[in-house]
Structure 1
Amino acid sequence: MFTNIPVPTKEDWQVLKEAVMQDGLYHQNRMAVAPNGSISYINDTTASLHPIINRIEERQESKIGKIYYPAPYLSNDTMPYYKSAYDMDMRKVIDIYAAAQEHVDQGMSLTLFMRSTIPAGIYDWKNGRTDKMTTRDLNILRNYAHKKGIKSIYYIRTFTDDQQEVGSNECESCVI
């Protein structure tokens, strides 16, 4: 079966070990950083590199209905330390993912979280005012992510003014 196929010897493995110890592995992190999304709820942890979506997230499970997931270790004392992804500058999240992306071969599940009305002061191009989210805002963030080396943006989720969460398939400005 192995005719004309070189089989590594013990010495070959020793040489490889020494090379790895000296230089490391080029493809050492082939997989995305877990957990993401639903897996994090099962494990009672946050979703890897991503900020929490809400202090208490409401999820609709198809077979059992609504389930509420509080952020890990959420209490009255820890409440001020938790900030929703919808209330932060997504460039900071992109920066974190970009730093990790250098060490991961595949694209990671980067999701952008935006409010349909962007609060004042989050994005400098809004000139400090509260304003509706537009395709321009999304393009600025997508271009920023591209320049930072992000391979793909997995989802764009919008929190609407009537307190509903909208995924990219339902968001008019996201599908343009």
Structure 2
Amino acid sequence: MPSQRADARRNYTRLLAVAEQEIAAHGADASLEQIGRIAGVGSATVRRHFPSRHALLDAVFHGLIETLAARARDLSDAPDARAALLEWLTALNGYVATMRGLAIALTRDCAAEPTEAHEHCASARLTEAGEPLVRRAAEDGAVAPDVTISDLLALITGIALATEHHPDPAADANRLLGLVLAGVSPGR
């Protein structure tokens, strides 16, 4: 993106921000035309930056995944391993519960569609980011030793899919996450 003109970079950034809001509200089928209108750009500008719906979704999800990966890195040296893991899982759960379509992206196998270029694989990237937090929490006795990041990602994905059509999916997902975490934590 550095070789783009300043107005093109602003349009790209604005489109991503609007797309994130629209996907959260309407799911992966959010209208590209509506996203362009809200962002204040024409459909040609939308298509120039994102030639397909998949390209737009990939960019939005990639940004969210990178935000979560960065948060995991920030928390990796936190003094309380349990609190760090809980904070990261809560952030992940919030994104997955409110960003309709992200839960499905987490279930996709990176190699499942060889015709699609995958800049990233959401589940692999989150596994890589969250694994050190789970390992530290297990070492500290905050989660059962046999709990894996894959287990927790699968549970969060299931929670998001189960609550996707609830009136307040984020609140219901957070309540269910609390139940899950109580179940994977040794008795306190």
| Pairwise same-fold verdict (TM > 0.5) | no
TM normalised by structure 2 equals 0.28
Q: Identify, as 1 or 2, the structure richer in helix.
A: 2
TM-score normalised by length of structure 1: 0.29
Bigger RCO of structures 1 and 2 (CA < 8 A, at least 6 apart): 2
Q: Which is strand-richer, 1 or 2? A: 1
Find the structure with the greater CA-based Rg. 1
